[in-house]
Amino acid sequence: MPFFIPMFPSFARTFKTYLASPRVALFALPTPEIALFSPIDDAKREIIKWRELAVPAALIPLALNIFTQGLCIRGVNRLTTVSF
């Protein structure tokens, strides 16, 4: 890890750029809504509001890359223990 210290400014700039990418909605989460009863808006009143969970689009491929690299390293380590 100490070898990456000189590259930290570049990593920080790249990560800030990733965070600035357009957001993509992954899924919606239900959030309870306190219902105030109003005789006029009964037909339009919703008991549960849905709130989208959105992440920067550039973080999705980054997360997939990290996950697949972890699987690869795990496989190589298992293969090495079986080979020797």
Enter the pTM of the model: 0.65
Confidence at 75, pLDDT banded by 50, 70, 90 = very high
On whether the CB atoms of residues 55 and 22 are closer than 8 A, the answer is no
Q: Is residue 57 part of a domain?
A: yes
Total number of domains in the chain = 1
- Say whether pLDDT at 36 is over 90: no
Q: Determine the structural domain holding residue 35 and report its residue range.
A: 23-83
Report how far residue 2's alpha carbon sits from residue 36's, in angstroms, rounded to the nearest whole number: 57
Q: What does the DSSP 8-state code read for residue 34?
A: P
